[in-house]
Every structure is written in structure tokens, then in C-alpha cells.
A and B are shown apart, each in its own frame.
Chain A
Amino acid sequence: MAVREILCYPDPILKMVCKPVAELDQACDTLVQDLLDTMIESGHSVGVAAPQIGVSRRVVVVDVSNSKLGRENNHGQLVMINPEILEQSGQKIMREGCMSVPDYTGNVTRAEDILVQFLDRQGDLQVIRATGFEAVAIQHEMDHLDGLLFLDRVSSLKTDLFRRKKR
């Protein structure tokens, strides 16, 4: 049980590709608990990825059930170990901000609808379909596992609206 400090860019761990969790041992469970504690403590956060607290492993926690945008449509508190997106469709643009990149936000286009597979805290394989804000939050957190920040995905307001056809 510990609230951990959120690392900010340019901490090099945020740009690393995380290793999969090989075994759901005590260390993994402690990591999950620290992620949950850190997410809850920060109040406004709807998700935290392991590299954000300095652990380069493929684990994220997501919970959009307390946020205005996700309240109506969510799976509650999600612990996702070695998550993988199996299918994705649709497009949704949201202006994202990230605790690891303070004071900057940008419009990011992500899939609106995803089918995602992961191991839960007990080690059981889960497959869920997430949509809307929850889907965006999961994709944002999963990007952290590949060393990607939303800054790797922003495009400007102008480009989004006026140049989309040419892409």
C-alpha cells in the first residue's frame, strides 16, 4: 500500500517499451496496489500506467466510473496486466492531458470502440469491449507501456479540421 510519485517527462522510463509481467507474484500484486493507491490519491486521475510510477512492466489501472464523461458507460475499476487490443473501430477526438506531461494538452484521435484482452489481478484472462471515454482512457494508458505519450499523437485543431481529407 503506497501512493507513489508520478514521474514526469523527460524521465527516460516513460519512453521505454515495458516488459510483460511473467508471473503474478507478490511484487506484481504490490505494483497493482500502488497503481490503484496512486490513481485514487491523485483524485482527478482516471488511470495510471506502471512506468508512470517508475516500473517498466505492462500493467495499467483504469477507472472512469467517477468522472463526468465515463459515469454512464464503464467497467468500474479495471486492473489490466499484459493488456492487448484485439479489435478497434471508429474515431473519437478528445483533448487529452497527462499527469506525466503537466501544463500541456492536445487533441488526440483514438478508436471509439475497442476489444481488449488482459489478465486481471487474480490472473484470470478477461476480454471486454470498451467504448467512448473508457476506451480512450485505456488506449492512453496502454500507450505508456510502449513508451508513447499523447504528445506522440497530437495534431493541431486546424490540421484536424481542415486537412483531414488529405491524410
Chain B
Amino acid sequence: MNHFALTIIGRDHPGIVARVTKVLFDLGCNIADSSCTILGGQFAMILIISHPRFVSKESFGTAFDPIEKDGLSVFIRTLKPGGEAAPYLQGELCLISVYGSDKPGIVYPVVKELGDRQINITDLNTKLVGSPENPVYVMLIEAILPPDIPIEQIDEVMAELKGKLQVDITVRDITPVEL
């Protein structure tokens, strides 16, 4: 079974999900994984889909043309075998909350510290909240700490950044509890 990554983005309005999934349903595609959300004023859909016979993006033909005519951008990428399965990563899950008055240069310094230590980010969301006079930037990072990096070490690194960037940062363990 071949897998594809399908990305669709466009000005948000009701009915986008229904239109897109109708196309997929009519083609006989499976939706294996998906994440759809509003970013700014745009509705952004990322889906991992599969089809028993499709081999390349040409297989989809003109199926998405009506959606593109409607002002949505459609992008299809053919995944290599295994590209649909999540890698198994060992380690503690942690959530890093970063927030402060909005200004340029909050995201990169924080994620650089993680990248430098080969810490895998599994989820990242940012949002501008607060009032127009006092915009507050919020970033939430979910990351897996490799077994040799204790959470205290990240806590220290973030405490130092907190002063430098003049934002608040907290680090907490969110390893799931098995019940």
C-alpha cells in the first residue's frame, strides 16, 4: 500500500473538510493520520493517506482541481515505504511552555538548545494571545528527552534563556501514566 502526504491550505470557511474528504472517499483513499487546524485565518490540513493502487501523485489525476479552483492550495508528496510509521523514540516526554510579551526571536533560541542536544520535538504550537495593546506570545513544545539527558538539565538551560529572552519558561514532565 502506497502512502502519500497531502497538504491543503486556504482561507478558512465552513465545508473545507467535507469537500476534501469527499474527494478522498470517491477515490477510495484511506486517511491514516491527520492534523487539521486554523492557523491565522487559514485552514491547514495535513493528512497521511493511502491507496491500494495509486503509485505516484499522477494517480490522483485532476481529482483536486475543483478544490484548487476554490482557492485552496493542494500539495501531494509520495512517501517512501515506512514513511507512514512513527519512529519509536525512547525517553521522557516533556512539555516546555514559553510565553512573554510578543517580540521577534523567541522560537529559534529555544528550539536551538533542543536541536543542539539532539532532542526530538514531537509537537510545537505557537499562538498570539492577550490584547492588541499587550500581545502575548505563547509557545508549547512537546519533546522527548533522550535517556542521557535528565529533565533538570533542560530546566537549567531554559532558566538561563528565560533571563536572556525576558520570557517565562517552564519545563515539566508529561510522561503518560499507564492506568
Which positions in A face B, CB cutoff 8 Å?
Answer: 44-47, 67, 69, 94-99, 105, 133, 136-137, 140-141, 150, 157-158, 161-162
Contact = CB atoms under 8 A, between A and B. Distances in A.
A95 B175 contact: yes
A150 B37 CA distance: 23
Given A157-B125, A158-B125, A69 B142 contact: no
Interface bin, chain B: 10 to 19
A47 B129 CA distance: 40
Nearest to B97: A161
Of B125, B176, B177, most A-chain CB atoms within 10 Å: B177
Given A158-B37, A162-B127, A133 B177 contact: yes
The binding surface of chain A is classed by DSSP as mixed
18 contacts: A44-B178, A46-B177, A46-B179, A95-B175, A96-B179, A97-B176, A97-B177, A98-B179, A105-B176, A133-B177, A136-B177, A137-B177, A140-B179, A141-B179, A157-B123, A157-B140, A158-B37, A162-B127
A138 to B, nearest CB: 10
Contacts of B177: 46, 67, 69, 94-97, 133, 136-137
The binding surface of chain B is classed by DSSP as strand
Contacts of B138: 161-162
A137 B129 contact: no
Nearest to B125: A158
A8 to B, nearest CB: 14
A165 to B, nearest CB: 10
